Amino acid sequence: NAGVTQTPKFQVLKTGQSMTLQCAQDMNHNSMYWYRQDPGMGLRLIYYSASEGTTDKGEVPNGYNVSRLNKREFSLRLESAAPSQTSVYFCASSEDGQGTQHFGDGTRLSIL
Amino acid sequence: GENVEQHPSTLSVQEGDSAVIKCTYSDSASNYFPWYKQELGKGPQLIIDIRSNVGEKKDQRIAVTLNKTAKHFSLHITETQPEDSAVYFCAASVDYKLSFGAGTTVTVRA
């Protein structure tokens, strides 16, 4: 049982390039989330999907788009990467909005 | 939105001693308070959580207390062991949206 799987694990981009981060969960969870983690800060919510077919903005959505492809998969897209988006990105899933969130091991993204 | 403050930012304890981390939150509507442990290169892992209708919860060496009136909650680790060394995050939630504290780096000295 893999839980939450994120790909890729590492990526280096140049300013202005685009990139899609992939996330898949095998726990049959309804809700999925994208966070970013910066040094000295906790995780901040970028977007979430309460259920298949819905997405909503979190605390820091600017510069990102998301797609809930199906119940298992939730992707995060950077259309025109900026150095300020250098961060570690975590995907999470939960059974519903009140449930425990389970995290993947992250994607470490550097933008030069 | 919700604002969660966490103290201390670093904590060094002797093996076998207790560790206490404290958090405060701002939104009185928050009703779910998880604690996560993060090891280097890994994602956060839930270690214990508490809901707003409960004042205290314990799981072996780990306990969490919640004071809704004062809007603060705490993590207590007793009989610390080297494997307890990690970064710990508190969080508060209102319907899907988890707001995290900035984290506490705990070092257990042998």
pLDDT tens track, chain A, 112 positions: 679 999 999 999 999 999 999 999 999 999 999 999 998 888 999 999 999 989 999 999 999 999 998 999 999 999 999 999 999 999 999 998 778 899 999 999 999 9
Contact B34 A104 (CB under 8 A): no
Q: Between A41 and B9, whose confidence is greater?
A: B9
Select from B20, B35, B34, B13 the least CA-distant residue to B81. Answer: B13
The answer to whether A111 contacts chain B (CB < 8 Å) is no
Do residues A89 and A4 make contact, with C-beta atoms less than 8 angstroms apart?
Answer: no
Percentage with pLDDT > 90 across chain A: 88
Contact A100 B46 (CB under 8 A): yes
Chain B positions touching A90 (Cβ under 8 A) are 43-44
d(CA B91, CA B77): 17
Q: How far is CA A56 from CA B33, B54, B97, in A?
A: 22, 30, 10
Cross-strand pairs, A94? A31
The answer to whether B6 contacts chain A (CB < 8 Å) is yes
Select from A54, A92, A41, A17 the least CA-distant residue to B104. Answer: A41
Name the burial class of residue A46, with classes exposed (0-12), middle (13-18) and buried (19+) by CB atoms within 10 angstroms of its CB. Answer: buried
pLDDT of residue B54: 80
For range B20-25, the mean pLDDT: 98
Q: What is the pLDDT of residues B76-108, one digit of tens each?
A: 999 999 999 999 999 999 877 899 999 999 999
DSSP string over B22-70: EEEES-TT--EEEEEEE-TTS--EEEEEEETT-SEEEETTEEEEEETTT
Residue B10: is its pLDDT beyond 80?
yes
Do residues B61 and B50 make contact, with C-beta atoms less than 8 angstroms apart?
Answer: no
Contact A100 B97 (CB under 8 A): no
DSSP, collapsed to helix, strand or coil, labels residue B82 as: helix
Chain B positions touching A41 (Cβ under 8 A) are 102-103
| Phi, psi (deg, nearest 5) at residue B43 | -80, 165
Report the Cα B87 to chain-centroid distance in Å.
10
**Of A43, A51, A107, which to mutate for an interface test with B (greatest number of B Cβ within 10 Å)?**
A43
The answer to whether B94 contacts chain A (CB < 8 Å) is no
